[in-house]
């Protein structure tokens, strides 16, 4: 096991599929190692962008085990836990340990809109059953449950809950968390279009989506900001923003898979009920992607 530092760039990995709806392990390996060659600090497998909700449990564990052997250098592999019940979440967390996960990213209960007390107890129950460190995914925009400062005060009592994927879309929440908790929690930006702003506010890392298609550019923005080279980071980020906006759409999976397909790092196939893009929608997204590829900036040596 490799203990995650919960700092740096962590791609939310896509799950490539073949035309026949099987996992394309060879393409997955290509993407994994493109991320590692670019300098990422860990990988998140089986998340929302990875279409985990459409995968069978055995597929998720097969992908995790394969990831651990496919890497050309070792980094922590984080597994997503997004379940409807506490019992199911604990079961998934234990299976993640058994299959080689290095850390967990835990979402609030799915479907049922738990109140604050129920949500805290849900997270605490999972944390109590594993030695893996945990990142709480705070995304009220998509999952309708916000983890508030008061809730984090309770969660801070659990030593294995150490990080937050900050996706509230309120950049001031970064400062709010830092003022309230200091360095108790590592904070990682979870919204691509807010990454530069949140890096300026002192987040520790970036859970990226478009990194699946543009790993070197993502790592460059992160490293330049950490080095205080703001103007260089801003120049890349301004080029990047139209692409990053593909991450904040309901069809982000299709959009980002199309982008990664254009850069040779994925296939375009998605698992039903998602359908592949077609017609004017596909052409509009391709225009954004292809313009980005045609104008890719020259990156500084870091």
Residue 205 β-bridge partners? 8, 188
Residue 113 β-bridge partners? none
What is the longest distance spanned by two Cα atoms in the chain?
52
Model pTM above 0.95? yes
Q: Which two tokens stand for residue 237?
A: 């980020």
Say what the pLDDT of residue 34 is. Answer: 98
Residues 195, 221 contacting (CB under 8 angstroms): yes
Per-residue pLDDT of the chain (302 residues; tens, 9 = 90+): 899 999 999 999 999 999 999 999 999 999 999 999 999 999 999 999 999 999 999 999 999 999 999 999 999 999 999 999 999 999 999 999 999 999 999 999 998 999 999 999 999 999 999 999 999 999 998 889 999 999 999 999 999 999 999 999 999 999 999 999 999 999 999 999 999 999 999 999 999 999 999 999 999 999 999 999 999 999 999 999 999 999 999 999 999 999 999 999 999 999 999 999 999 999 999 999 999 999 999 999 88
Residues 265, 20: Cα–Cα separation, whole Å: 18
Q: Which domains does the chain have, with CATH numbers?
A: 8-240 (3.20.20.70)
Say what the pLDDT of residue 79 is. Answer: 98
Residues 139, 165 contacting (CB under 8 angstroms): yes
Strand bridging mode 43-45 / 8-11: unpaired
Q: Which two tokens stand for residue 79?
A: 């597994």
Cis peptide before 273 (omega within 30 of 0): yes
Beta strands in 96-177 (DSSP E): 103-106, 133-138, 161-166
Residues 291, 241 contacting (CB under 8 angstroms): no
Give the phi and the psi of residue 154 in degrees, each rounded to 5: -70, -40
Say what the pLDDT of residue 81 is. Answer: 97
- Give me Rg for the CA atoms of the chain: 18
C-alpha 138, offset from chain centre: 12
Q: Which two tokens stand for residue 207?
A: 């859970």
Say what the pLDDT of residue 142 is. Answer: 87
Strand bridging mode 133-138 / 161-166: parallel
Q: How does DSSP classify residue 246?
A: G
């Amino acid at each position: 096991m490799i203990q995650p530092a919960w700092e740096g760039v962590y791609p939310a990995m896509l799950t490539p599929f073949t035309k026949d709806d099987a996992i394309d392990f060879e393409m997955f390996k290509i993407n994994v190692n493109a991320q590692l060659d670019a300098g990422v600090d860990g990988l998140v497998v089986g998340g929302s962008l990875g279409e985990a909700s459409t995968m069978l449990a055995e597929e998720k564990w097969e992908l995790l085990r394969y990831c651990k052997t496919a890497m050309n250098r070792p980094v922590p592999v984080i597994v997503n836990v997004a379940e409807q019940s506490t019992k199911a979440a604990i079961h998934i967390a234990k299976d993640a340990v058994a299959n080689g996960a290095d850390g967990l990213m835990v979402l609030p209960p799915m479907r049922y809109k738990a109140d604050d007390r129920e949500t805290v107890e849900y997270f605490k129950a999972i944390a109590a059953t594993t030695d893996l460190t945990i990142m709480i995914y705070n995304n009220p925009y998509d999952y309708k449950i916000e983890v508030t400062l008061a809730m984090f005060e309770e969660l801070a009592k659990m030593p294995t809950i150490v990080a937050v994927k900050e996706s509230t879309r309120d950049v001031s929440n970064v400062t709010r968390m830092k003022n309230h908790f200091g360095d108790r929690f590592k904070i990682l930006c979870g919204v691509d279009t807010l990454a530069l702003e949140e890096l300026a506010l002192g987040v520790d890392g970036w859970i990226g989506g478009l990194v699946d298609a543009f790993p070197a550019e993502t790592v460059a923005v992160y490293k330049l900001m950490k080095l205080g080279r703001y103007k260089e980071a801003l120049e890349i980020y301004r080029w990047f923003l139209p692409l990053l906006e593909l991450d904040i759409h309901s069809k982000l999976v299709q959009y980002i898979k199309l982008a990664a397909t254009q850069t040779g790092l994925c296939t375009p196939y998605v698992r039903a009920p998602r359908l592949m893009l077609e017609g004017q929608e596909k052409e509009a997204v391709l225009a954004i992607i292809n313009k980005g590829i045609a104008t890719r900036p020259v990156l500084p040596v870091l």
